[in-house]
Amino acid sequence: MTEPPINIHIHSTLSCRQRAQLRKALYKEEPTVSVVPVKSAPAKPGWQTTEFWVSVLTVIGGVAAAQQNAVPDRYAAYLAMASTIAYALSRGIAKH
């Protein structure tokens, strides 16, 4: 018997009956495997993510450092911009 030409992810949420049906379909000689779409977990709201809070703390730290003249204002602005861009990219990847 040849292996099926597709990758199948079997989740532990399959019932015994569904597992038996899947095994039966995989070991048939005929390529009649029905494809069942798997729903992915929805992405968390943005404010609940670690990336959001790291970005907020980075911006607050940059502003605080600029207020105390520890770093030039320009560097604090670059830090805030880089943090915001990194957050936006990470959220885009997470929702993709």
pLDDT at 16: 77
The rounded mean pLDDT for the chain is 81
Q: Render pLDDT for 40-50 as a digit per residue (tens, 0 to 9).
A: 677 788 889 89
pLDDT at 31: 54
pLDDT tens track, the chain, 96 positions: 565 555 555 556 777 787 788 778 777 755 555 666 767 677 788 889 899 999 999 999 999 999 999 999 999 999 999 999 999 999 888 877
- DSSP letter string over 33-78? PPP-PPPPPPPPPGGGSHHHHHHHHHHHHHHHHHHTTSS-HHHHHH
Q: Which two tokens stand for residue 11?
A: 């989740």
pTM of the predicted protein model = 0.55
Long-range contacts of 62-67 (CB under 8 A, 24+ apart): none
pLDDT at 55: 94
55 contacts 84 by C-beta, under 8 angstroms: yes
Q: Which two tokens stand for residue 79?
A: 């830090």
pLDDT at 22: 76
